[in-house]
Structure 1
């Protein structure tokens, strides 16, 4: 994934590889957003830390990787990870600072991670979100992801439906 070091997304935004030193920021940004904006309960905090622990343990051992979005002032403002499940890449912990929504940065981040996933040799990508995150569902659909399942659930103190998407790279 070294090709992604310093990938410009335009407008002064840069996508660079995740490092362990980003862990606290990633956790804090996700927890702050999902607790205050999405009204998730405190069980979400543990889920984020568990996900980061899993990601950190895999970084050197398989095709798992992550990216951090930086603004022109080099402040962190987004994250996205791709985890090797053994049969596919799974997108996890995708977050863009709410103040930056509507500028095409989410699309650019997704496009960059899709390219890196393809370069890593994956043919299938999976991602799960919730129907309460309508913009995420629209983003994945617009990028060619196909909805695989929609399952009602009570998660993180909210009644929602989990929406599972998959993307298959076309065979050459």
Structure 2
């Protein structure tokens, strides 16, 4: 069965490759209606964006056969697109750079690429375009390329339509993958989220969604428990965004809001195996008030109640 699923995965990736390469014109005789192949255009792109590399560096970075790259560069030289210069620090090395004609060729290819992609995505509505960008970023992350991000890229905002469904879905998926919790946890999250939407007291309850570059990567809720006690619920940070201090910022937002709303205490429930979350709570000044075993979402779990006096 596992082998069958792997084979299905391979078939799906191959199907996507065929679809996408046809969609962006990679299979055309000349890329972007030019005289260049995809590989040739990529080499021109790299030469424009690199500080005079050697042929060996290009071969290594692009994973191209040195002999094939040598023939390609020789052809570029014949066309007047590149020139080779001797390294100022090592006379045995020859550096490669674009000529003025080569730079003009890059600008032409880059402009055509920009127009081609714009034509491809412009028919999409805003939400569909965002789904496309999210899917592309997910592919990059899962296959090993993590886009650069810093704490400065993190934005906290109020919830809007569609966010609550995302919160429920991601809790269900991540807690199953990382901790083996079953569907009963997802049902609990759904009930908490639904109650918030139907009964929210805006002056005393709030939801925050964390975004990085426009992509939702975290959530937290602060809801009323009693007149003087608030509950922090549904703290989540996507694996791809961990390490940016998002959990701390979400919890700090809850504590600040709770003080401003007049609560005297913030309470939360967590599980002993959620080590990263527990460190965030400790850092915010919460202390564990009680603990007891439970089997609400699986076996051998220990639930903990934590509190912070304001």
TM-score, scaled to structure 1: 0.86
Whether the 8 Å CA contact 1:41–1:157 is kept in 2: the answer is: yes
Is 1:53 equivalent to 2:194 in the alignment? yes
Instruction: Give, in whole Å, the separation in 1 of the partners of 2:202 and 2:249.
Output: 27
Local SS of the residue matching 2:209: strand
Alignment match, 1:6: none
Instruction: Give, in whole Å, the separation in 2 of the partners of 1:90 and 1:102.
Output: 25
Whether the 8 Å CA contact 2:203–2:261 is kept in 1: the answer is: no
Of Structure 1 and Structure 2, the greater strand share is in 1
- Note the residue ranges of structure 2 that are not aligned, 5 or more in a row: 1-149
Is 1:36 equivalent to 2:154 in the alignment? no
CA offsets 1:138-160 (integer angstroms, 9 cap, x no match): 21112111110011111202311
Higher relative contact order (CA 8 A, sep 6+): 1
After TM superposition, which residue ranges in structure 1, 4 or more long, deviate above 3 angstroms?
A: none
The Cα RMSD (Å) is 1.7
Aligned with 2:152 (options 11, 33, 52): 11
Local SS of the residue matching 2:231: strand
Alignment match, 2:301: 160
| Count of residues paired in the alignment | 160
**Structure 1 residue 60: Cα displacement:** 4.1
- Note the residue ranges of structure 1 that are not aligned, 5 or more in a row: 1-8
TM-score, scaled to structure 2: 0.49
Alignment match, 1:66: 207
**Structure 1 residue 95: Cα displacement:** 0.3
Alignment match, 2:275: 134
Of Structure 1 and Structure 2, the greater helix share is in 2
Is 1:106 equivalent to 2:267 in the alignment? no
